[in-house]
Each structure stands twice: as C-alpha cells, then as structure tokens.
Amino acid sequence: MNGLEKHSAMATVNGLRTHYLRAGEGPPLFLLHGWPQTSHCWHRVIGPLAETHTVIAPDLRGYGRTDKPRDGYDKRTMAADIAALATHLGFDRVAVAGHDRGGRVAHRWALDRPDQVERLAVLDIIPTREMWRRLDSELGAGYWHWLFHLQPDLPELLAGQNIAAYLGYFFERWTYQRQGLRPEDVEEYVRAFSAPGALRAGFDDYRASFPADATDDDADFAAGNRLAMPLLALWGANGLTGKLPVLDIWREYAPAATGSAIPECGHFLPEEQPGEVVARLREFLMG
C-alpha cells in the first residue's frame, strides 16, 4: 500500500473500540473531527498532510465506527481515549489539530498531557469556558443548539424524526462554500448518525459541556494552567466564530497563540477551504 494512501483500522484503547484512519510517514499528526461529522471530514486534507506526517484521524467516542457507550463524554475522558490511542500506536509526542468538538477534546488533551502534545491547532472554536461566559442573547441566538442539545431525550426525539433534515440544517447554515460539502459527504454523515446510539452519543458530547467540562475548565483557569506549547487558531471569516475576537480570547489560555481567519469560509474549514487549511497547518507544523 502507498504510504500516502489512507487506510482504516481499529484499536481497543481506554476500554473503547476506536476506529481511525491512517496515512503517511513522519512525525505524528492527529486530526480530531467535530459534530455532526466523523473522521471523514478530513478526507480532502489527509493526503496532502500525509506527504510530511503520519496522519491519524480517529472517530471520537460515540462517533462514526467507534463504540457508543452511555458515558464518558466529558472532554477529559474523550482526551484520554485519544491519548491512549497515541500511546497504543507508539507515539510519545504528537501534534494535534481539532475542529469543532474535536478542538475541545484537543484543548483538554493539551491541558492534561502537555508532555504528549507538542503543537495544537484549534479550528473554528473558542474555549468551552468562554462559550459559557459569553453566552448572551446575541451569541445564544447563533449557538442555540448548545442549549437544545443539553436537554435530556428531547433532541433525540425531534431530530430522530428526520436525521437528514436536522443535520442538513447545520450543513447549510454553517457553510459559506456550500459546494465544499458534496452530497456524498452529507450522505456519509447522515449514515453515521443513523446508526443505533449515534444521535444520543453526539448529544451526550454536548451534554457533557455543562457542568462537567465547565467545571474542569474553570478549575484549570483558576489554577493558572495555561498552554505553553505553540497554538494555532484558525476560523472561518464568514461564520459565527468570525464575529468573535478569537485570537485575543485564545491568548488568555495560550499566551503565544497565533492564528487568523480563513477568508470566504464558514464553519467547516477542512471541506470548505482545504487548500488553505493544509497550507496553514504545514507552516505551523514546520515552524
């Protein structure tokens, strides 16, 4: 098999059967997806990044082809899953890029295991703690799903009536380059979230944001824990995150943070502007 050709594999780590994609040779780079997606969201950037790195793109706990247990969706546990996968694969030090919910897992991974994460890129998010601190009427109108997904049972009941329509709402509203999410990509995500337990697991990911993740994040911030490793923040200039002072916010958590907006882009950076994402990640990883 060509080293740049991605292949699919399974590993049992942290008590979880975890699916991941792997391609390339070189320093390890982990790519963590968000909601409502799976590791498939990296399909346009894995190949180019695999030219210089060993790229590992797992399905997070509850997503895709990974197990969907009834608990463990706090970011500390989800980060421990991926840390265990890295160790299982023989990597002592890794770079990680996380998009959306995957960025929150990556942030927690870097906080809990700074000796394992040497570089961190976060795509189209601000820290979870800042989301709750800043959730006024304007931010709440854009991120209403955070509060909806917190509710027990109701999101599964309503979204489960038409999974394609519910996910499609976000794929349309959160994109600028709508052609970047091809029909076959959307079909893959709908297929993934139609699996037994998948909708519930995705909502449990959000349900863990409060109070579990908020409590952990508040404790770290109060203790003065900041990220010392290089951090790159990227966000879509035409998305909801682009309305926030993203870099200023991240520098409160990682003083040496760098980053910028990607023009003509909404929320789904790796699919809307894959060339820009690859170029900026390469520059960051080689810095």
Residues 6+ apart with CB under 8 A from 269: 99, 123, 124, 234, 235, 236, 262, 276, 277
Q: What is the dihedral of CA 251, 108, 199, 168, to 10 degrees?
A: 20
Q: At 30, phi and psi to the nearest 5?
A: -95, 135
CA distance linking residue 214 with residue 130, whole number of Å: 9
Per-residue DSSP letter, 74: S
Q: Which of 19, 99, 107, 267 is catalytic?
A: 267
**Which residue type occupies 187?**
E
Which of 147, 110, 152 has its CA nearest to residue 132? 147
Q: In what order do the strands lie in the sheet with 117-123?
A: 7-13, 16-23, 54-58, 28-32, 94-99, 117-123, 231-236, 258-262
Per-residue DSSP letter, 152: S
Residues 6+ apart with CB under 8 A from 217: 127, 128, 129
CA distance linking residue 12 with residue 128, whole number of Å: 28
267 is catalytic: yes
End-to-end CA, the chain: 30
Q: Which of 100, 185, 205, 213 is catalytic?
A: 100
CA distance linking residue 161 with residue 70, whole number of Å: 21
CA distance linking residue 81 with residue 100, whole number of Å: 17
Residue 54 near residue 22 (C-beta atoms within 8 A):
yes
Angle between helices 183-193 and 198-207 (to 10 degrees): 90
Just list the catalytic residues: 100, 267
